[in-house]
Amino acid sequence: MTNHKVIVLKTNIQSEQMLRLVAPIFKKENHVKKWSVDLEDCDKVLRVESNQNITESGLIRLLVAKGVMAEVLE
């Protein structure tokens, strides 16, 4: 049985164009099972379902490298 982890981040992803910018990150990460961004939410919440091999800080680093602000949503 695989353990799943849900990471929830506040981002500055505001458009479909920005979604296309970050999509390759999740396609390359075989640990990511599912991801979505709520563009209607004021925090532009990114929700990532993965196995235990990916961390919040690792995911934030990948996003920042693409020019996307991301932080853990408390």
Domain that holds residue 49: 4-72
> What's the confidence (pLDDT) of residue 27?
87
Tokens 């800080």 — which residue? Answer: 57
**Mean of the pLDDT values across residues 38-67?**
92
Helix runs in the chain, H state only: 16-28, 56-65
Domain count of the chain?
1
Q: Confirm if 22 and 69 have CB atoms less than 8 A apart.
A: no
Q: Are 5 and 58 in contact (CB under 8 A)?
A: no
CATH number of residue 20's parent domain: 3.30.70.100
pTM score of the predicted model:
0.89
* Better-predicted residue by pLDDT, 4 or 62: 62
